[in-house]
Amino acid sequence: MKELRNDWALAEVEALFALPFNDLLFQAHTLHRKNFNPNQVQVSSLLNIKTGACPEDCSYCSQSSKYDTGLEREKLMEVDAVLKQAQEAKDKGATRFCMGAAWRNPTDKSLDKVIPMIQGVKAMGLETCVTLGMLTQEQAFTLKEAGLDYYNHNIDTSKENYSNVITTRSFQDRLNTLESVQNADIHVCSGGILGLGEGQTDRASMLRSLANLEKHPDSVPLNLLVPIPGTPFEAIEPPTESEFVRTIAVARLMMPKSVVRLSAGRTEMGEALQALCFFAGANSIFYGDQLLTTDNPDTNTDQILFERLGINQQLLNSH
């Protein structure tokens, strides 16, 4: 079987999801072991460089100006403050520093303010990543020139479920930005969120959209929704633990060389569930006690988890 495919049919993906749990995990782990060190995890750190007041209406997000979630709006951080946080993240073992701003799309003027942050983080020897909303092709080239390594732009859910979650932009808008990023030769970081009212077919469809991109995303973050009071999804039913692990395993089978990141929602996950996710093919996490606006396990908790599981952190430039 050809290892890297971009021509998945939905029925094939659904067939993977339908495998007995143990068979699916065995297949995913076997492939994972073939492409990666199974006991090594890449660690990224995430900083919110501009909080709140986003004009989008994503039903899960505390930063949307449409909902009252008690979040204080904050303007874009100063470069020095961002670089101080990047240095702290590096000291704690992060190899990639991600900066997120709650924008629908950055103006060229706002982009000019982010560029010195990217350059400063890169000068520290860290990989750089930003998530700033939708980009034009020109802006993607500008970010590439600034030395950006990764651009994060999640597709969130399936094309079919998308309008139930967000109405201020379309699924195609997401794909257009990913295309601009790939055209600029920046690594793509794109995944989704589980717990947006989707069914298993939606999860299959979401992974199919990612795996059928011209080139697989280098990084695939899979988030478990953290329901935020005040948002339309505050009381939504979460997926079961086995559904979450299945999604990680299917992502690994479809995108064998991509790094699959266990992202938001880890504070709700016990040691055994996280261990299963790593076995199923997850090999990256976000480090630090805050992810944009939701809680994350502190670095000490993660160190203990890694120690118990015999997992090593990937060192800088070792991939």
> Among this protein's residues, is 98 annotated catalytic?
yes
> Among this protein's residues, is 277 annotated catalytic?
no
Which of 96, 174, 189, 252 is labelled catalytic?
189
* H-only helix segments in the chain: 10-17, 21-35, 79-91, 108-123, 137-145, 162-165, 171-183, 200-211, 241-254, 271-280, 299-309
318 token code pair = 């070792």
> Among this protein's residues, is 261 annotated catalytic?
yes
221 token code pair = 């973050």
**DSSP secondary structure string for all residues of 256-289:** TTSEEEE-TTGGG--HHHHHHHHHHTEEEEEESS
What is the total residue count of the chain? Answer: 319
277 is in an annotated binding site: no
> Among this protein's residues, is 129 annotated catalytic?
yes
**Number of other residues whose CB lies within 10 A of the CB of residue 163:** 11
Which of 54, 169, 246, 277 is labelled catalytic?
54
**C-alpha to C-alpha distances, 157 to 21, 115, 119, 162, nearest whole angstrom:** 22, 30, 32, 6
299 token code pair = 């670095």
> Among this protein's residues, is 58 annotated catalytic?
yes
**Number of other residues whose CB lies within 10 A of the CB of residue 26:** 15
Which of 96, 98, 174, 203 is labelled catalytic?
98
Distance between CA atoms of 274 and 10, rounded to whole angstroms? Answer: 27
Q: Write the single-letter amino acid at 16.
A: L
Which of 96, 129, 174, 277 is labelled catalytic?
129
Which of 169, 208, 246, 261 is labelled catalytic?
261
* Binding site as annotated, residues for [2Fe-2S] cluster: 98, 129, 189, 261
Residues identified as active-site: 54, 58, 61, 98, 129, 189, 261
* Binding site as annotated, residues: 54, 58, 61, 98, 129, 189, 261
